[in-house]
Amino acid sequence: MGAAAARYHCRMSFSAILLALLLEQVRPLTRGNPVHAGLRAWVRWSSRSFDAGRPHHGWLAWGFAVLGPTVLALAIHWLLAATLGWLAAVLWSVAVLYATLGFRQFSHHFTDIRDALEAGDEAQARQLLAQWQQIDASELPRSEIIRQVIEHSVLAAHRHVFGVLGWFAVLAAFGLGPAGAVLYRLSEFVARYWQHQSEAHHQPVSAALQNVAAGAWNAIDWLPSRVTALGFAVVGSFEEAIDAWRTYSQRAGRINDGVILAATSGAVNLRLGGAPMRSTLRPTDDPLAGGTSLPGQEPELAHLRSIVGLVWRSVVMWMLLLALLTLARLLG
């Protein structure tokens, strides 16, 4: 890759991410939008057409569901860049990021539950949490409501923002446009969606396909989850976050979600884990591995504000880093 091409790709990446984040804050995608509805229909068609219960059939279904839209997004990006120029390619990347990235795709759940807790309406908070995560929250005490809201919100921020940013920025630097954003979001979605469909008996999905989707997602998310955890450590209490991360890895395991939550726990000195919670991939598992409880303060309402600050500081840090890398490429 030539120096001119490298400068172009860096400039494109930063511009697309910044514009998409701003657009998503001003006018977020509504629920049931045509883009997401179309992707759900495509994923359902892929599993119905190729899922025959064997691992190689699972990989075929996963390939069509995830790699098909990824290749299509890349082809459109290359076509626009070749025919209309880099500005059209950047606008396409912004459109793809707008559909795959953003806080507003999940933050309304966090805000509604926080408002209910601030108003003292714990019953409403439990109901909202149950609707969001499809769990039985009817007997959760106030501290556990807050803990689960924090855990689910941190993981959602990783999947909707930090993981998408990471995969997009890396692949865009090699001229692959928005392919990374599509690959990451769809790999997460199909693993969650196919399991949910099978459990709810809406559509039979074989165990082989579920295992393929879960395994692919775990591999794709391995590095982004650790980058997110490192970011939280840098903008939070670094030594405590790294220590909690190390303790979790040595004592409990190396589940991607658990790494993020362990670093979060240390970064804000907050007790996370300790009671089974629903994982979006495996409902019987706790991301902190078997109910492992990390040391820290008991979750309180004020911690919700601390988590919001931690996440936004991390966003600013990564955007500044990307801006500096872009500037260095332009000057170099």
pLDDT band (50, 70, 90) for residue 201: low
Question: Using CA atoms, how far apart are residues 24 and 5, in angstroms rounded to an integer?
Answer: 28
Q: What is the mean pLDDT of residues 296-314?
A: 91
**Residue-averaged pLDDT of the chain:** 86
Number of separate domains in the chain: 1
pTM over 0.85: yes
At residue 232, the pLDDT reads: 97
At residue 288, the pLDDT reads: 56
At residue 202, the pLDDT reads: 63
pLDDT digits (tens, 9 = 90+) for 71-119: 999 999 999 999 998 889 999 999 999 999 988 888 888 999 999 999 9
Look at phi and psi of residue 275 and say left if phi exceeds 0, alpha if psi is from -120 to 50, else beta.
beta
Contacts of 79 (CB under 8 A, 6+ apart): none
Q: What is the mean pLDDT of residues 121-125?
A: 91
Amino acid at 130: A
Query: Which residues span the domain enclosing 106?
Result: 3-331
pLDDT band (50, 70, 90) for residue 161: very high
Question: Using CA atoms, how far apart are residues 96 and 192, in angstroms rounded to an integer?
Answer: 21
How many Cβ atoms from other residues are within 10 Å of residue 323's Cβ?
A: 14
Between 295 and 130, residue with greater pLDDT = 130
Q: Which residues of 11-48 are buried (b: 16+ CB within 10 A; e: fewer)?
A: bbbbbbbebbbebbeeebbeeeeeebeebeebbbebbe
Look at residue 200 and tell me whether its pLDDT is greater than 80.
no
